């Protein structure tokens, strides 16, 4: 039985390399629209609504909101679409899923870009603390509604530079297309607190991975510097004047980096 009914769209030339995009929490397959307009000239872009988001339907139980099950579902989707190998771009939560895919299904991805991504928490104490925080956020989504939740969410210092960006209201409008009850399941079961740490497994990675992080996002700068030190196949690029959401805050730089990173090593 199928456990997911994925919503997705393609844009570009089917004869070009496939590039799979995975959005962050609160996002949808439309989050990379602006980037895909430019990239679709040289790539066949595939953008997917992740479980708990957009129009993707989860047909199984709560375990199908977890990263291992989502990863299996995405591999099954690639199989259905007859895509044996592709390029991979993931942002934040989507980056965590992309990293899991890279390390557990390495033959399916030839090059990977991870934007503002973490490989997980290193200690059980950290994971338990995060689980409590995410459970509280899930309960807020179930009770206070999406408008108020978004207002509180974007008051986080992580999104300070995004909030001041001229496109912030457009981002906010897209977020309102999600179902708060589905988002609650996502943050509860796709929590960083439930994710097994991938720090050790990173050392075994042989796939070319580019880490992107905004210089204003100091927490993730530190995390990504540690990640880059673990494997010679991992490259780190710190983007000036950007926070957590590089693909909104500096779309031109984001597109330029993707084009330059992927084109020299086509599928």
Q: Which residues contact 20 (CB under 8 A, 6 or more apart)?
A: 46, 47, 48, 74, 78, 83, 86, 87, 88, 89
Instruction: Look at residue 158 in the predicted model and tell me its pLDDT.
Output: 83
pLDDT at 1 over 60: no
Share the mean pLDDT of the chain: 95
User: Is 150 in contact with 180 (CB distance < 8 Å)?
Assistant: no
Distance from chain centroid for Cα 99: 9
User: Is 48 in contact with 11 (CB distance < 8 Å)?
Assistant: no
* pLDDT per residue as tens digits for the range 194-209: 999 999 999 999 999 9
User: Is 106 in contact with 136 (CB distance < 8 Å)?
Assistant: no
Query: Which among 120, 130, 140, 124 is positioned nearest to 180, based on CA atoms?
Result: 140
Q: How far apart are CA 217 and CA 225, in angstroms?
A: 12
* pLDDT per residue as tens digits for the range 72-99: 999 999 999 999 999 999 999 999 999 9
* pLDDT per residue as tens digits for the range 151-171: 999 998 888 899 889 999 999
Q: How far apart are CA 156 and CA 133, in angstroms?
A: 13
* pLDDT per residue as tens digits for the range 16-61: 999 999 999 999 999 999 999 999 999 999 999 999 999 999 998 9
- CA distance to 5, 7, 27, 52, 72, per residue, from 55 (Å): 9, 6, 11, 8, 19
Report the top-level CATH class of 4-120+195-262: alpha beta
Name the strands in the sheet holding 86-91, side by side, starting at the edge strand that comes first in the sequence.
8-12, 44-48, 18-22, 86-91, 109-115, 209-214, 234-239
Instruction: Look at residue 175 in the predicted model and tell me its pLDDT.
Output: 95
pLDDT at 264 over 70: no
Instruction: Look at residue 60 in the predicted model and tell me its pLDDT.
Output: 86
| CA neighbours closer than 13 Å in the CB half-sphere of residue 109 | 30
pLDDT at 265 over 80: no
Other Cβ atoms closer than 10 A to 167 = 13
Domain ranges of the chain: 4-120+195-262
Strands 44-48 and 8-12: antiparallel
pLDDT at 239 over 70: yes
């Amino acid at each position: 039985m199928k456990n997911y009914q994925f919503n997705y769209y393609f844009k570009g030339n089917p004869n070009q390399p496939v590039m799979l995009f995975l959005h962050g929490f609160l996002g949808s397959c439309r989050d990379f629209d602006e980037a895909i307009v430019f990239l679709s000239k040289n790539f066949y872009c595939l953008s997917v609504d992740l479980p708990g988001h957009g129009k993707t339907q989860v047909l199984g139980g709560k375990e199908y909101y977890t990263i291992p099950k989502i990863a299996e579902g995405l591999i099954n989707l690639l199989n259905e679409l007859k895509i044996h190998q592709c390029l991979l771009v993931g942002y934040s939560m989507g980056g965590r899923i992309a990293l899991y895919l890279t390390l557990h299904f390495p033959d399916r991805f030839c090059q990977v870009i991870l934007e503002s991504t973490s490989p997980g928490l290193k200690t059980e104490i950290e994971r338990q603390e995060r689980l409590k925080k995410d459970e509280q956020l899930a309960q807020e989504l179930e009770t206070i509604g999406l408008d108020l939740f978004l207002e509180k969410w974007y008051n986080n210092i992580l999104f300070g530079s995004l909030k001041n960006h001229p496109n912030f209201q457009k981002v906010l409008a897209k977020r309102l297309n999600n179902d708060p009850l589905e988002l609650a399941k996502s943050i509860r079961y796709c929590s960083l607190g439930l994710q097994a740490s991938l720090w050790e497994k990173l050392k075994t990675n042989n796939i070319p991975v580019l880490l992107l992080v905004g210089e204003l996002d100091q927490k993730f700068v530190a995390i990504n510097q540690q990640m880059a030190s673990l494997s010679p196949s991992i490259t780190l690029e710190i983007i000036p004047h950007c926070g957590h959401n590089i693909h909104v805050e500096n779309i031109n730089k984001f597109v330029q980096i993707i084009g330059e990173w992927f084109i020299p090593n086509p599928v």
